Structures are given as structure tokens and as C-alpha cells.
Structure 1
Amino acid sequence: MFAYGSLIWNPDFDFDAREFGTIYGWHRSFSLHIERWRATSGKPGLMLALERSGACKGIAFRTRQSNQPDDLRRLLAREIRYREVAPMIRWVDVHTADGKRKALTFWASTPSHQLTAPLPLEDAAARIAVACGPAGSCAQYLYNTVSHLEAAGIRDRNLWRLQQLVAEEITRSPAPSKR
């Protein structure tokens, strides 16, 4: 599995090994439009997806052979709940210190998919700052991702800039009234 976001800090599967790697031709982006989990239809949010161009550093996990079918089923249920988004699962070449590996990754955008569309960072920050649903807030998801990437030694300057913009949005927003 190639993890570039929440699977780094919440893999939810057993693994034998993990190693740093880079995929080329893709970059992480808060471009996956959501109205559930960490958002609502009234306050839609954004989650991470892979978009074409650039490079993305992440972690390649080798799943345990004994649990592979169960782990894959659990991951598919967690990440891909609808058949319509199945094309966003793909095999990628991960370049590691020990050579190139094939890995499965989730939410790799397709040009024709309507769930993903990159926004300017300022617009993305405005959505992320206010979106919240039963699984928590999009701002919390961004913070967890940025802090865990940093802890793993992976610095994504666009996510750091987005984190800064979201923090500014939250600071500017009036506190909700307690009636």
C-alpha cells in the first residue's frame, strides 16, 4: 500500500515492513469534495486525493500475507464505499531506497471524475476551516496529516501553507454562539 495521507497515521491494517518512497507524476492535494464523514451537505469539505503532476513522498507498507485478503477488504470498505469511485484505486510505482515497488493507492484522481477538482489554496482553506461532520473536522484531518508527515520526516510545503491559511481562517471566524 502507498500511503500519502491518513493511512500514514491510521493504517488500519497489519504490515510486515514500511519504507519511505516517492511516486512521480502525482502530488497530494485537498481536492476530494465531501459532504459526509468530516463535512455535511450544508458545509462541504475537502479531503486528500492524488492529482496528476509533480511528485509525492509517502510510505510504502508491505501487508502481511496471512491477513492480506481481510486487510484489503477492510481498507476497501473504509476508503472506497461506492462502485463509482473504484477507478480512483490504482497501482503506482513507488521509488524507494531499495528499488522500485508496485503498490496500491487510493483516491488517485481521474480527469473525468466529478468528486475531485483542485481549488486555489485560499478557497480550499475557507472550506476546510468550517467543514465538520460525525468523523470530526476537515481542519483536524489536515492538522493530523501535516503533523504526522512532519514526524515522519516528510515536508509538503503546500500542505504547510494550507495549514497556515486554515489557522488564519479559524482565528478570523467568530466563535459559535452558545444558546
Structure 2
Amino acid sequence: MFAYSAPVARTGIRPATSTLCATRPRARRQQISRRFQKSALLAVYHMPRKESIETVQATWARAVQQRERIGELFYERLFTLYPELQSMFRSDPAVQRQRLVDMVDAGVNLLNSRSDLEKALRDLGKRHVKYGTQEEQYPIVGANLLQVLETMLGEEHFTDSERGAWQDVYEYWASVMLDGARTVM
């Protein structure tokens, strides 16, 4: 990557490439881990910048036109890279895919309403404790979501600045969810 987005510049970690995942899952896991290990994910959370919010809302508007495909790709990639996570999902896969897209959609749409968004995210974090979600799984989900968006929109249409904006927003979401999760851990 030639131009680094703010999160990449801040963390010093380069974003994942799409070819690595399909050919070498173990290397992909290590790359995901390195990418997020120094992120602000577990630090005090901050509201993303207005520009990041607008960028995420614009890219989501393009991606959400293929709602079903987002859920399919997300879980297909997740279970290919982390088959051990599949046992955590007991509900109907179609329902789970729909829930994922609905939650991302709500998260994107509530970005302009911080108090409502943070309440929803804290509640979601509490529920994820009941599902057995561990803190170290949040970066896995974030990296997977970014990769799915890149796959759906195409590398040439999912720019470095869009990737950086999504990383900022996801780190914020995950931090608030973890804040909620820690209240019941």
C-alpha cells in the first residue's frame, strides 16, 4: 500500500491483502493478528472523525445493495480461516447472516447518534459474552468485515482511505462493545 490511512499510520501495520487469505490461511491469521495487535481496539474508545463516518456511510450504501452476499461471504471467510468458531453459531445460518447485516446496517446508520449507538453497542457486547465471544475475536471479525467489503466492492473501488475509515469505525464499535461486555464478564 503506498498511501497509508490514519489508522495504518497510527498503528504502523499494513492492511491485509486479499490473495493471502485464499492461499494460506495460517499466514492470513498471523497477518490479521499483527494488523490489529497495536490498534486502538482495546484502548479508550473515541468517536470516529466526521470524514470517516461519511466515508463509511457512503461505502456501506454501495455494499448493502447486496445484503445477502455480505452475510454469505462474511461467514464463509470466517469459517474457512477459523473453523473452530463455527461451533459458536447455533442459530440458522440464514438468520445469522441476516442479523450480521442488520447490525452493521444499524451501526452505520446510528453513527450520527452517538448515545443511541453506544447503548446499542454496549447491549450487543453484553449479549456476545453469553455467546462465548472472547476479546481476541473482535479483531478477527473486524479484519474479516474489511476483507469482505474489499471483495464485494473490488480493490479499485475500496480505497485506502475507505479502508482506514472502516477500521476507525470498527475499532470504535468494538471498543464500545467490549466496554459493555466487561460489565458482565
TM-score normalised to the size of structure 2? Answer: 0.27
Q: Which has the higher strand share?
A: 1
TM-score normalised to the size of structure 1? Answer: 0.28
Q: Which has the higher helix share?
A: 2
Q: Which has the larger radius of gyration?
A: 1
